[in-house]
Amino acid sequence: MAETKWVMKDKRWSLHGMTALVTGGTRGIGHAIVEELAEFGATVHICARNQDDIDKCLEEWKSKGLNVTGSVCDLLCSDQRKRLMEIVGSIFHGKLNILVNNAATNITKKITDYTAEDISAIMGTNFESVYHLCQVAHPLLKDSGNGSIVFISSVAGLKALPVFSVYAASKGAMNQFTKNLALEWAKDNIRANAVAPGPVKTKLLECIVNSSEGNESINGVVSQTFVGRMGETKEISALVAFLCLPAASYITGQVICVDGGFTT
């Protein structure tokens, strides 16, 4: 009996036999998520815009004994999103357990300075592509019998920050979409949750910090965290992996902040 109990417990804390797609998986938080899921036993597919970046990461993960594949996809293109899901369906034999919508972009400006092109680029990458990718992934997630979607949101979608208005709008939309999707797809045994990081050490954040307006905004956020520092990518990927585990099977429709206390 004791042995059976431990076997069951191990299964609750394992992703062995499960499949995952992580968008934007070659750098930053996405890179950490790929490693975390693969270390828990999942077979992972990533997409990114640059083949060289993909190849470099795949070689790195292969050397670590992680089971990861990858393909090029510009998520702003509807046809490429459809093609991505065809590739994933073929590799994973028509079933997908985990979808992590991580890819994102940002342009920091004052509200009066944003152009229509800026808005389209940010909303297209951060929300429209995510919405459509979920739509085309639905059959694969449903057929897995136990699907989990994790959206990488941001505290900017919950609290007003200077020069982040369009990015914040895209993440606010993502947060609400998380809840609606969790409601509508629960009947298909698909869960949906969002992880909202505070400032995390990534190349994207470095670009923002390098601008005078962005630097002021980020430093303001860091100074308001309880822990007084930026987060590490592994501190985000740990929660993402947990939300994908069988142990988290009763958690859905939630937006969870990982921000050192910033939004508290």
Which of 114, 131, 167, 250 is an active site residue? 167
Instruction: Please list the alpha-helical segments (H only) found in the chain.
Output: 2-12, 28-39, 51-63, 78-91, 116-123, 129-144, 165-185, 203-209, 212-223, 233-244
User: Going edge to edge, which strands form the sheet with 19-23?
Assistant: 68-72, 43-48, 19-23, 98-101, 147-152, 190-197, 255-258
Q: Looking up tokens 């590799």, which residue turns up?
A: 91
C-alpha distance from residue 123 to each of 105, 107, 115, 227 (Å)? 9, 11, 12, 31
Q: Which DSSP string corresponds to 210-225?
A: TSHHHHHHHHHHHHTS
Residue 148: beta bridge partners? 98, 191
Among 104, 141, 133, 100, which residue's Cα sits nearest to residue 237?
Answer: 100
167 included as an active-site residue: yes
Could you tell me if 40 and 245 are in contact, meaning their C-beta atoms sit under 8 angstroms apart?
A: yes
Could you tell me if 184 and 147 are in contact, meaning their C-beta atoms sit under 8 angstroms apart?
A: no
Question: Which residues are part of the catalytic machinery?
Answer: 167
